[in-house]
Structure 1
């Protein structure tokens, strides 16, 4: 027997993929690699993280099952025999009701995404097929199933064996017609830290783009209290975005703040990663330029694979959190810098000082780029919805690295004030009068190659700042 090449092809239903499997046979029988993660992901299958393997045996020809749409992804192949498969898109959207059919034998497999109904009719006796799923079955999960009648006249599946001659269950006979089926919404994205600057931007982005989501703030999901987490919400979730953290950099250097920073940024992330692994849910984790010591020459940028070497408690705790997040099989660690949102921040402070006639001193020897929370929110959602490769990403505005002093000058200039009112000062001079300051990286510039490769939208820093300042709510005191 000559084995076919492994290949993956799309269908009329987005995400429904047909797989050609190499089958090696001789007089003894045959052998195939039913699921080989590295090869199949390289060929085009999603890295969907299966957690359960099921086998369905069907004794009689004409045994028909379905049409069931489950709240998880499935990878299905035949172990022995042959089946006729029918798949109907039961997800909300323009493709609702689209039908795809195919015959499946041991040399083929199919990847069925969440919300696509699948049904099978056996064409040979003693047919068995196996399917991998990326969530554990539970009664709660079964409540989210969507069903379609096998004989629905609108979809009109061309069954090889008429349903009046087929073997099927009473439950399958009683499924509803397409016109009464409630489409399945995409799985929700869980957003932790929903009341923070980034969390609010994430919620806003999901609302604006009709992306199902569940937001949790500290009162409903306290990262430092894993025993009280509403972990059932993880089952069936599309992903978790951890936008919660202890970000008070100077406070983290105090005896009181140090354990709080480690609890939120490291210990809690370790527990969160374990919960995501158990539920089979991807994790997007937000990190920081503070995981680097900032000693790289200021004309260079930190790559994603540069060794971490934090010099502050905050940076150390965040580096530990990264290591924990990386244990989730499907994860995206997104490092960012100099975050500006709709709350208290450097840009808002400079705009207020300009308007009130204050002439501040601002450090001029720390280099980096700003990141605006709506942009970062869009980037995080993009990684999840496009199922970007697992790994570490850097995301900030684009353009040359600048100093805080330069940014302050831009704010004053855009507000119609004289930028010469701002006095430059070195970090050493600034901290000499402010004891207890955490060490800051001199160079916070992150290399953005990973963001570009993932197709993330990158804004020019200078023009993005002007656009932000033109939106007055962001610069209110």
Structure 2
């Protein structure tokens, strides 16, 4: 091995196959043998190797010269190198697109490695006895994995095997692979539908997300209690995360007053902090995009408008638990923390309550000193889809409906009017007066207005809240 000793510097070169890279490794040797850094993430990424997050290491040992394996294209990326011996490597691009059928070959010894993108067919022929080549992959092997194959002796590929195939050692399975002209190309990543797991799928936002994601061409799978608990570490460990690209966390404990009780406090923290922390860890480990939905309750409401960079200052347990979850989510390398307010969708909410009161002839007292904007789940879902499809800078984005600032009292009056009832039936009252003498009431932020400048700058402008409110009530009245 002395001829390998320090004969070249670490380097990466491109090949005729797009994304396929040849890596020169520095091997240090002496009379005792040799040493090399076979995989060095920081140095190699700096030189241009994709940061592909390997999760499994495999070794193939071949006892005889002429063992030939392939040509197989797998649904994961591979970093291939030799531990001992020497192989002839041949690769055929089997991905759909203009490079389909492109061939590249090289010799791999301990001083050479290659990066093989998913969908590129690979084959190896041993040139020395007792050869072992090793490969890192960024997905766990699964018997359900879909491979694409081509015959080793395909005339179109015309690979110049050092050892003619009639003298090589080949399995019956590899002998049966099809000709290149009959191969169905491996689907390009850009054409594959993104796979999204929606937690809290039975909630107001969850239902809207499932519908909108499907309409937008995503593969959406929803989970919720009691079948799936995001705060259950074992439940998360049982998920095959390779089946997903994105996680949208719409699960939360939203019972603001109940969170102040001895029974509710740990439940709120479990759902709103522990669960997001576990999802953040999963997202980092499996290179997933995590979208987490938060609340303006992480602020004390003393500012007239809240920006994304305002430090959290929650007043009650609900807000405190949400702030804890937000901090954990920010540890995920790829995340969108979407902060919203006053959510209205399919299910129990303030607007539905006011409609019921109007219908029953009840004349409610409604607080007029809590101000903000409604957020309809249709707009919230569309905004989230805009983020995951356009991929602006990761981080925190405020997202509510647009329009004028209103109080709960203003909204209640408008709902009564839309229901054909006298809006003067609604009486204004301060928050302090409304909750006077009541026990177990969580403090509320008085100002819930979110600054939407950032989300607008990346191309999404929500509809005005009053337009959405009018449509929502009219549709509900006709149901």
TM range (shorter): 0.7 to 0.9
The match for 1:320 is 324
Rounded Cα–Cα distance in structure 2 between residues aligned with 1:17 and 1:87:
10
Note the 1:198-237 alignment, pairs <5 A. Answer: 198-228=205-235, 231-237=238-244
The reply on whether 1:460 has 2:438 as its aligned counterpart is no
Report the secondary structure of 2:369's partner residue.
coil
Rounded Cα–Cα distance in structure 1 between residues aligned with 2:65 and 2:105:
17
CA contact (8 A) 1:7 1:19 kept: yes
Report the secondary structure of 2:218's partner residue.
coil
Shift of 1:381: 4.3
Report the secondary structure of 1:259's partner residue.
helix
Unmatched runs of 5 consecutive residues or more in structure 2: 1-6, 28-35
Rounded Cα–Cα distance in structure 2 between residues aligned with 1:62 and 1:320:
56
The reply on whether 1:292 has 2:299 as its aligned counterpart is yes
Rounded Cα–Cα distance in structure 1 between residues aligned with 2:417 and 2:38:
64
Q: 1:308 aligns with which of 312, 324, 343?
A: 312
Rounded Cα–Cα distance in structure 2 between residues aligned with 1:56 and 1:457:
50
How far does the alpha carbon of each residue in 1:196-255 deviate from its partner, in whole angstroms, 9 at most, with x for none? Answer: 122222222343344323322212113454445572333443233322211101111122
The match for 2:3 is none
The reply on whether 1:430 has 2:434 as its aligned counterpart is yes
Rounded Cα–Cα distance in structure 2 between residues aligned with 1:364 and 1:42:
60
Rounded Cα–Cα distance in structure 2 between residues aligned with 1:398 and 1:44:
43
Rounded Cα–Cα distance in structure 1 between residues aligned with 2:47 and 2:381:
28
401 and 284 in structure 1: CA distance in 2 versus 1, 3 angstrom threshold: same
132 and 171 in structure 1: CA distance in 2 versus 1, 3 angstrom threshold: same
CA contact (8 A) 2:288 2:334 kept: yes
Report the secondary structure of 2:465's partner residue.
helix
How far does the alpha carbon of each residue in 1:446-469 deviate from its partner, in whole angstroms, 9 at most, with x for none? Answer: 33344345x463322236414642
- TM-score (normalised: structure 2): 0.73
The reply on whether 1:146 has 2:144 as its aligned counterpart is no
Rounded Cα–Cα distance in structure 2 between residues aligned with 1:210 and 1:253:
41
Rounded Cα–Cα distance in structure 2 between residues aligned with 1:314 and 1:8:
53
Shift of 1:318: 1.3
143 and 408 in structure 1: CA distance in 2 versus 1, 3 angstrom threshold: same
The match for 1:172 is 174
Rounded Cα–Cα distance in structure 1 between residues aligned with 2:462 and 2:446:
23
CA contact (8 A) 2:22 2:113 kept: yes
Report the secondary structure of 1:232's partner residue.
coil
Rounded Cα–Cα distance in structure 1 between residues aligned with 2:291 and 2:419:
36
189 and 437 in structure 1: CA distance in 2 versus 1, 3 angstrom threshold: same
Shift of 1:109: 7.0
203 and 308 in structure 1: CA distance in 2 versus 1, 3 angstrom threshold: same
329 and 65 in structure 1: CA distance in 2 versus 1, 3 angstrom threshold: farther
Rounded Cα–Cα distance in structure 2 between residues aligned with 1:82 and 1:387:
40
Aligned-pair RMSD on alpha carbons?
A: 4.9
How far does the alpha carbon of each residue in 1:328-360 deviate from its partner, in whole angstroms, 9 at most, with x for none? Answer: 343332222111110011222333444554443
CA contact (8 A) 2:152 2:174 kept: no
Rounded Cα–Cα distance in structure 2 between residues aligned with 1:37 and 1:400:
50
Rounded Cα–Cα distance in structure 1 between residues aligned with 2:432 and 2:57:
60
The match for 1:469 is 472
- TM-score (normalised: structure 1): 0.73
Note the 1:58-69 alignment, pairs <5 A. Answer: 65-69=70-74
CA contact (8 A) 1:74 1:131 kept: no
The reply on whether 1:87 has 2:82 as its aligned counterpart is no
Rounded Cα–Cα distance in structure 2 between residues aligned with 1:22 and 1:464:
61
CA contact (8 A) 1:21 1:33 kept: no
Report the secondary structure of 2:268's partner residue.
helix
Rounded Cα–Cα distance in structure 1 between residues aligned with 2:113 and 2:478:
60
